[in-house]
């Protein structure tokens, strides 16, 4: 609580200033909307601080009971203080997240691109497992996730997949997932029990629209092809899948999941706008391979941001220098703890 007190005083002062502005009657509709949004965020933080104070007061009362040493109450008090400590930690985490300076892109939906890297079929299998973990996390967050393009292998692996993730503050949660994810484990096909090391790359592209970037139609090369199923089998007898190339930059976007060519074209354009807008924002005039290399590198093991070590039941994020020892739960999509910690630690870098 001590670490937060100075910030709380500042936020209360900001709230009072905003209340005065909102009651002045001298604001435009756009200004009212913007200040109201900031005021709501400030009030949310203050409410959490008040809950934190209440819990700390309860903890003092329970500690007093423990200090009195009454045997009949001691067991009850110990149980109660554990519950209060857990609630306190949860609220402190929520406050830390709300205190992170917002980025303009934080509210945006994202395109999540996962590619198998070093390691052959084992890498493709882990790419599929990562997609499953992100999908389960999206469900926990009440987000919608939609596969826009996928290139599968015959052994339930994924060479590359693009998923569109829509929901509240998706980019703020997933932006630090971009990079090389390394996996260390014994593959199912490994008879000698030797641990293999493979990599998967993840790119996180914030959603943009046509207003964010201008595209000249004559710069677009549009190809159609038959949608493919797992193992390369055709799932369409007509060319409904669409691949769009922005010729000046060689940025490529494609979609094959819809039944109609028109729908696939619209969704491929959606992804293309976002890729080009991201490049424009960062003032980059290079092809998508170079843009992806900035985010995820070439997929070499030395460029890792995170390691999933199955024999040791350990997941380590190398940027934050933190490890978690519940790999099975993490692969089931229980990654909120990891993402929360990274948002706090990495937002100041």
pLDDT in tens, 51-87: 999 999 999 988 887 787 777 777 788 888 889 998 9
End-of-domain residue from the set 52, 81, 98: 98
> Kindly report the CA angle at 123 between 121 and 125, in degrees rounded to 5?
70
> Looking at residue 285, what is its pLDDT?
37
Q: Which residue has the higher pLDDT, 31 or 103?
A: 31
Q: Which range marks the domain in which residue 10 is found?
A: 2-98
When pLDDT is averaged across residues 96-114 and rounded to a whole number, the result is 87
8 Å CB contact between 326 and 225: no
* Structural domain count of the chain: 2
What would the DSSP string read from start to end of 163-186?
EEEESTTHHHHHGGG-EEEEEEE-
> What pTM was computed for the model?
0.74
Integer Cα distance of 283 and 111 in angstroms: 20
Q: What HEC string does 194-227 produce?
A: CCEEEEEEEEEEECCCHHHCCCCHHHEEEEEECC
pLDDT of residue 155: 79
Task: Give per-residue burial for 214-245: e unless 16+ CB within 10 Å, then b.
Answer: eeeeeeeeeeeeebbeeeeeeeeeeebbbbbb
Mean of the pLDDT values across residues 185-212? 85
Selection from 156, 97, 161, 101 nearest residue 135 by Cα: 161
Q: What percent of the chain has pLDDT over 90?
A: 49
Distance, CA of 160 to CA of 44 (rounded, Å): 40
Please give the radius of gyration of the chain, using alpha carbons only, rounded to the nearest integer. 24
Confidence of residue 286 (pLDDT cuts 50, 70, 90): very low
Q: Which of 64, 98, 132 is the last residue of a domain?
A: 98
In the block, residue with structure tokens 């990274």: 342
pLDDT band at 38 (very low <50, low <70, confident <90, very high): confident
pLDDT at 130: 97
What pLDDT sits at residue 280? Answer: 74
Query: Tokens 């554990």 — which residue?
Result: 82
pLDDT tier at 111, thresholds 50, 70, 90: very high
Q: Are residues 29 and 128 in the same domain?
A: no
- Least confident window among 64-73, 98-107, 320-329: 64-73
pLDDT score recorded for residue 191:
72
State the average pLDDT for the chain: 85
More confident residue, 120 or 335: 335
Contact 271, 162 (CB under 8 A): yes
pLDDT at 203 over 90: yes
Q: Do 51 and 142 reside in the same domain of the chain? A: no
Nearest to residue 151, comparing CAs of 112, 197, 189, 114?
Answer: 114
Give yes or no: residues 227 and 122 share one domain. Answer: yes
CA distances from 308 to 123, 190, 218, 324, 339 (A): 12, 18, 45, 10, 15
Q: Do 193 and 74 share a structural domain?
A: no
Element containing residue 244 per DSSP (H, E): strand 241-246
Q: Report d(CA 292, CA 287) in Å as an integer.
A: 9
For the cut 50, the answer to whether the pLDDT of residue 291 exceeds it is: yes
Residues 111, 94: one domain? no
Does residue 195 share a domain with residue 93? no
Taking residues 130-145, what's their average pLDDT? 97
- C-alpha 191/C-alpha 265 separation (Å) is 45
Lowest mean pLDDT among 48-52, 67-71, 185-189, 315-319: 67-71
Q: How far apart are CA 108 and CA 281, in angstroms?
A: 15
Residue 213 belongs to a domain with what CATH number?
3.30.70.1660
Instruction: Name the band, by pLDDT with cuts 50, 70 and 90, for residue 297.
Output: low
* 22-36, 119-133, 233-247, 313-327: segment of lowest average pLDDT: 233-247
Query: What does the pLDDT read at residue 230?
Result: 44
Question: Is the CB of residue 268 less than 8 Å from the CB of residue 240?
Answer: no
4 or 25, greater pLDDT: 25
Among 76, 98, 120, residue at a domain's last position: 98
């Amino acid at each position: 609580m001590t670490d937060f007190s100075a910030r709380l005083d500042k936020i209360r002062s900001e709230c009072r200033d905003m209340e005065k502005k909102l009651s002045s009657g001298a604001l435009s509709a756009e200004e009212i909307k913007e200040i109201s949004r900031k005021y709501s965020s400030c009030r949310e933080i203050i409410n959490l601080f008040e809950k934190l104070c209440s819990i700390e007061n309860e903890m003092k009362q329970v500690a007093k009971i423990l200090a009195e040493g009454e045997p009949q109450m001691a067991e009850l008090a110990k149980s109660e203080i554990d519950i209060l400590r857990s609630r306190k930690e949860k609220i402190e985490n929520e406050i830390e997240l709300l205190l992170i300076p917002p980025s303009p892109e934080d509210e945006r939906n994202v395109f999540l691109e996962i590619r198998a890297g070093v390691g052959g079929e084992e890498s493709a299998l882990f790419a599929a497992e990562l997609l499953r973990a992100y999908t389960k996390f999206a469900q926990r967050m009440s987000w919608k996730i939609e596969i826009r393009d996928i290139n599968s292998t015959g052994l339930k692996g994924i060479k590359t997949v693009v998923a569109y993730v829509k929901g509240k503050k998706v980019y703020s949660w997933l932006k630090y997932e971009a990079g090389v994810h390394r996996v260390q484990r014994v593959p199912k096909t490994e008879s000698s029990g030797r641990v293999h090391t493979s990599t998967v790359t993840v790119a996180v592209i914030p959603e943009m629209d046509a207003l964010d970037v201008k595209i000249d139609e004559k710069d677009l090369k549009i190809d159609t092809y038959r949608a493919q199923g797992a193992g390369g089998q055709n799932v369409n007898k007509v060319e409904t899948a669409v691949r769009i190339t922005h010729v000046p930059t060689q940025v490529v976007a494609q979609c094959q999941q819809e039944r109609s060519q028109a729908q696939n074209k619209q969704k491929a354009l959606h992804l293309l706008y976002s890729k080009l807008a991201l490049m424009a924002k960062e003032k980059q005039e290079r092809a998508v391979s170079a843009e992806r290399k900035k985010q995820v590198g070439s997929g070499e093991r030395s460029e890792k941001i995170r390691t999933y070590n199955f024999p040791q039941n350990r997941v380590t994020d190398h940027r934050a220098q933190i490890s978690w020892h519940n790999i099975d739960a993490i692969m089931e999509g229980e990654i909120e703890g990891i993402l929360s910690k990274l948002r706090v630690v990495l937002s100041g870098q």
